Structure 1
Amino acid sequence: MSTSARSATTALAYEDAPLTRFHIKVTVAGTGGQFSDGFILGIIGIVIAAATTSLGLAPLWIGLLGAATLVGLFLGAVVVGPIADRIGRRQIFAWDMLAFAVLSLVQFFVQTPGQLLVLRLLLGLVLGADYVVSKSLVTEHAPLRFRGRLMSLLAVAWAAGYVFAYLVGFLLAGQGEDAWRYMLAISAIPALLVFGFRLGVPEAPLWLSRHGRDAEAAAVVRRHLGPNVHPPTATPSANRRGTGALFSPAYRKRTAVGALFYVCQVIPFFALGTFSPQVMEALGVTSKLGAGALYNVFLLAGAIVGLLIIDKISRRLFLIGTFAAGGALLAALTAFADIGGPVISVSLFTAFAFVLAAAVNLEFVYPPELFPTDLRASGVGIAVAASRIGSAASTFLLPLVASGYGMGVALGGCVVVLFIGALVCWAWAPETSAESLDGIDARG
């Protein structure tokens, strides 16, 4: 058999390519922004507690600083999504971590709550941009069989950043009145480490092909996957669709599901995670830092378990099941906190953290699977932006509601949100685990 004949018989479609070192490199590069995001969102609660005296933080400033990065994430995601669909993902992906590192270091020098608030908003803008391009680019490079697990690595990185933040805060707490400055500035380190990985990541061949740049797409595939892998051959769009297409009859249900499931996950996740020491104290747990540490360990464990099962069960089952289980655990915590004692409270709270952290994998895997290539970054941007409205509002309101009406009312609100998420997914969520990106594009 000739060489050309052998090549023809062994040729693979782009999404059927075997997993290679290149795919791992792209995924590792994508984890940097997620680790950094987890870190700066996880550290702020500890920083607020440590800097209250130094910065003179009143309750209003505490709420604003807790929500600032989330507001920035909203703006970054909704603005950058359409830009990334038009100009590509690579350039933003390559350079945003450098901007993040610089802003992280500047936090060390703040003197007023207003200065820190501005920096947290800017950091959120950068991370909002990174959410959009990282999720889109890693999804578009990933082989179909490994897409869920590769995207779940981003979720594990986020959880690792969140847990690392708590560890850093725990170790630095009590090390002087300026310890909180080091807690904030240390987030520059992982951002700088991943920056080098990103410079060598090429544009996604699927995006190149969708924009009529087939020769460039073929060159990327040939260089990184070899001559036996066919580059994608998406038909270029004659009319560039804007964000409005996401609300057309063809996509509005997917857009709604992407936004609503994300909102219903992050409201309890960020509200309770950011203020976990305060939640533990209100539930009668005396060692609130120790309980918070256990909570964070279960967050990381849940993210890892979620990675292991993401491709073994349907997306719909994963979505509905984790919402229902999380809601049931939090309802039990609310109902039995006064009679069960600290051990029961901590057990239920950490079990809740485990379930919700496993579900966080879906925030990275599911939204990019809902949208075609020319709308993917915009669709992910809307989902992220919607989620950040919910998480910013919940992070701002939880301490106010808890102080005014009690922690039981705050927890009860989170239970309602989780059950709403289960109902929305049961009614509208499509199954996407076996759907190729080419197939999504072909549907229009």
Structure 2
Amino acid sequence: MPTMTNLAQRIAPVAYEDAPLTKFQIKVTIAGTGGQFSDGFILGIIGIVITASTGALGLTPLWIGLLGAATLAGLFVGAIVTGPIADRIGRRGIFAWDMLIFAVLSAIQFFIESPWQLLVLRLLIGVVLGADYVVSKSLVTEHAPRSFRGRLMSLLAVAWATGYVAAYLVGYLLTQLHGESWRYMLAASAVPALLIFWFRLGVPESPLWLTQHGRTAEAAAVVRTHLGDGVLPPPVETTTIKRRGIRVLFTPKFRRRTAVGALFYVCQVIPFFALGTFSPQVMESLGVTSKLGAGAAYNTFLLIGAVLGLLFIDRLSRRTFLIGTFFLGAALLAALVAFADTSPVVAVVIFALFALVLAAAVNLEYVYPPELFPTDLRASGVGIAVAASRIGSAASTFLLPIIVAQYSVNVALIACVIVLAIGGLICWAWAPETGTEALGEVAEEVQKESDEHTHH
């Protein structure tokens, strides 16, 4: 027979963020992966589409550059605009319907007749993806239990890598079709978006957001319905009852966290895109002459690294993971530059390790930014971080080919070593530990950091 102590423990209410993992939270996470998969697919497929459609659409180098950058530009706008809106009106409405809009825009690409039509659609698709980045990261984070938050959010990173790899495979298979196979490549992204749209319709609003906006009865109903009577609804974040705008993120109290969220993201995406851009050249220098082989190798490392990151994300502190992957990545990339000519085997091993470390670190782009900001500013903070990252990815895509043409691949890779080292130093100096924080206590932690900084 159970003792009275065991019975009391069994029926004692559990705090919202300490609730056990349920099928509901896994469903929310799977629903959140749709936008990340779609983003990876869209970015992965455009290179193959441009190659296949250059003749049919009469693409000049200028059009190729514009089409390659269009989604990134749209994503920047979508992220920066959606953040404050999602903090004001909630996450659920945007989250539920943006994948349907994405699917419609993707399908319309099949019918384009000129480069400008494709450019407009790619920009709009980027805006939708930027919006989804913000609401998916915020909503999945706010529904996740604290002890599983890192692993659940890392599934979004794995989804992005899977989408990127899927684009490569789908593009390769569709090139076997006769006629304008590039049209089918463009429209293919509508299929997973439609599937995930139906999955999202049943996802409720974040109880944290509802509580923060005074809708405590609704928050309690969501918790009771999906987590059970034994879980307490989240308490009001008392230090953030007053409604604040995005400008608050640039005040002395928040600007260090805002800077860390943006700068670590930028310092990761620059070498990430460089690796993607130069993997064929690196592989060629290692004796792999087939572009198909180089792409397959890069994508394999990308996916394995994302899965490894998921396995380690909750085993290490956030600061250790951040700082360690930056400095380890910088060391491996420097070693690749230094020893690539000595032995092909050594070079392949170093390249594989670097790719794995960088891909594992990408998990932090999904886990860390939402943890940096309180509920009333979370979507805005994530929007700033995502927007900054698009500047970094666009800059690396634009500048690195120029550096390679005027100097060499090694000079470009050395620049990436410097960027990684800077990222590690920034995180060492400024990055707070967030892995053990409750999301409802972030505002208090920020206030504590501000008081300590003022005191010193």
TM-score by structure 2 length? 0.91
The SS at the match of 1:26 is helix
Instruction: Point out the more displaced range, 314-323 or 62-71.
Output: 62-71
- Residue 270 of structure 1 aligns to which amino acid in structure 2? F
Query: How far apart in 1 are the matches of 2:118 and 2:341?
Result: 38
Counterpart pick for 2:303 among 297, 300, 308: 300
Match of 1:107 in 2: 109
- The answer (yes or no) to whether the contact 1:135–1:151 under 8 Å persists in 2 is yes
Instruction: Point out the more displaced range, 413-422 or 306-315.
Output: 413-422
1:85-96 maps to which residues of 2 (within 5 A)?
A: 85-96=87-98
**Structure 1 residues 267-324: Cα deviation after superposition (integer angstroms, max 9, x where no partner):** 1212332564465457763112112101101111111111111000011111111111
Match of 1:248 in 2: 251
Counterpart pick for 2:60 among 58, 61, 74: 58
Structure 1 residue 79 displacement after superposition: 0.2
Query: How far apart in 2 are the matches of 1:116 and 1:271?
Result: 25
Alignment of 1:179 onto 2:181? yes
- Residue 365 of structure 1 aligns to which amino acid in structure 2? V
Counterpart pick for 1:440 among 442, 448, 455: 442
**Structure 1 residues 355-377: Cα deviation after superposition (integer angstroms, max 9, x where no partner):** 11100110000000000000000
- The answer (yes or no) to whether the contact 1:67–1:393 under 8 Å persists in 2 is no
Structure 1 residue 112 displacement after superposition: 2.5
The SS at the match of 2:362 is helix
Instruction: Point out the more displaced range, 343-352 or 175-184.
Output: 343-352
Alignment of 1:68 onto 2:70? yes
Match of 1:83 in 2: 85
Counterpart pick for 1:134 among 130, 133, 136: 136
- The answer (yes or no) to whether the contact 1:280–1:292 under 8 Å persists in 2 is no
Match of 1:206 in 2: 208
Query: How far apart in 1 are the matches of 2:166 and 2:441?
Result: 39
Q: Note closer, same or farther for the CA distance 1:299–1:15 as it changes in structure 2 (3 Å cut).
A: same
Match of 1:232 in 2: 234
Query: How far apart in 2 are the matches of 1:279 and 1:122?
Result: 34
Structure 1 residue 351 displacement after superposition: 2.5
Structure 1 residue 243 displacement after superposition: 0.5
- The answer (yes or no) to whether the contact 2:260–2:430 under 8 Å persists in 1 is yes
Match of 1:333 in 2: 336
Pairwise CA RMSD of aligned residues?
2.1
- Residue 401 of structure 1 aligns to which amino acid in structure 2? I
Alignment of 1:323 onto 2:326? yes
Structure 1 residue 439 displacement after superposition: 1.2
Instruction: Point out the more displaced range, 235-244 or 94-103.
Output: 235-244
**Structure 1 residues 43-68: Cα deviation after superposition (integer angstroms, max 9, x where no partner):** 22222222233333333333222221
Query: How far apart in 2 are the matches of 1:355 and 1:337?
Result: 18
**Structure 1 residues 249-279: Cα deviation after superposition (integer angstroms, max 9, x where no partner):** 1111000000000001111212332564465
Match of 2:353 in 1: 351
Query: How far apart in 1 are the matches of 2:30 and 2:347?
Result: 36
1:272-421 maps to which residues of 2 (within 5 A)?
A: 272-274=275-277, 276-277=279-280, 280-281=283-284, 285-341=288-344, 344-421=346-423
Query: How far apart in 2 are the matches of 1:386 and 1:47?
Result: 27
- Residue 267 of structure 1 aligns to which amino acid in structure 2? I
Match of 2:452 in 1: none
Structure 1 residue 71 displacement after superposition: 1.1
Match of 2:127 in 1: 125
Structure 1 residue 174 displacement after superposition: 4.8
**Structure 1 residues 21-43: Cα deviation after superposition (integer angstroms, max 9, x where no partner):** 11011000000001111111112
- The answer (yes or no) to whether the contact 2:261–2:369 under 8 Å persists in 1 is yes
- The answer (yes or no) to whether the contact 2:237–2:440 under 8 Å persists in 1 is no
- Residue 322 of structure 2 aligns to which amino acid in structure 1? L
% same residue:
73
Counterpart pick for 1:258 among 245, 257, 261: 261
Query: How far apart in 2 are the matches of 1:411 and 1:183?
Result: 32
Structure 1 residue 153 displacement after superposition: 0.7
In structure 1, runs of 5+ residues without a counterpart are none
Query: How far apart in 2 are the matches of 1:441 and 1:234?
Result: 11
- The answer (yes or no) to whether the contact 1:68–1:392 under 8 Å persists in 2 is no
Structure 1 residue 177 displacement after superposition: 5.1
Q: Note closer, same or farther for the CA distance 1:199–1:211 as it changes in structure 2 (3 Å cut).
A: same
Query: How far apart in 1 are the matches of 2:52 and 2:323?
Result: 38
Match of 2:47 in 1: 45
Query: How far apart in 2 are the matches of 1:42 and 1:265?
Result: 18
- Residue 364 of structure 2 aligns to which amino acid in structure 1? L
Structure 1 residue 233 displacement after superposition: 1.6
The SS at the match of 1:57 is coil
Alignment of 1:165 onto 2:167? yes
Query: How far apart in 1 are the matches of 2:111 and 2:328?
Result: 43
Structure 1 residue 336 displacement after superposition: 3.6
Q: Note closer, same or farther for the CA distance 1:262–1:81 as it changes in structure 2 (3 Å cut).
A: same
Q: Note closer, same or farther for the CA distance 1:55–1:353 as it changes in structure 2 (3 Å cut).
A: farther
